[in-house]
Amino acid sequence: MPSTGPTQTSSGADRPRLAPHVRLTFDPARERYVLLTPESVTVLNGTAAAVLGLCDGERTVADVVTALHGRYDRVDGDEVRLLLDRLAERRWVEYRRG
């Protein structure tokens, strides 16, 4: 049976950024980072917020993974790419191809 999950589409040279209609902000009431879109508010865990905070359209995916290695003991680059790809499927993240 074929997988119904997202396929990995980003490469290490791609430069992710939040889509223009999406904002990453800290919600003091929840004491968590959230993604704000026109349709929803998505509460993020700390790791997802750290990944998205590095997605500025200048850093490559590989740069994001490297920066996370400086903050966390264990970082799985494939998991970072999978998160970004899932958010890209929702049109919350865009890639500038490297």
pLDDT of residue 4 exceeding 90 = no
Element (H, E) at 18: strand 15-18
| 10 lies in some domain | no
Residue range 9-25: mean pLDDT, rounded: 90
Residue range 57-82: mean pLDDT, rounded: 93
CATH number at residue 27: 1.10.10.1150
pLDDT of residue 60 exceeding 90 = yes
Nearest Cα residue to 85 out of 14, 1, 2, 3: 14
pLDDT at site 12: 75
Domains in the chain, number: 1
- Average pLDDT value over all residues in the chain: 90
Coil, strand or helix at 36:
strand
Cα–Cα distance for residue pair 52/27, rounded to 1 Å:
15
The residue ranking higher by pLDDT, 97 or 7, is 97
Domain that holds residue 21: 15-92
Long-range contacts of 23-31 (CB under 8 A, 24+ apart): 24/49, 24/52, 24/53
pTM, 2 dp:
0.85
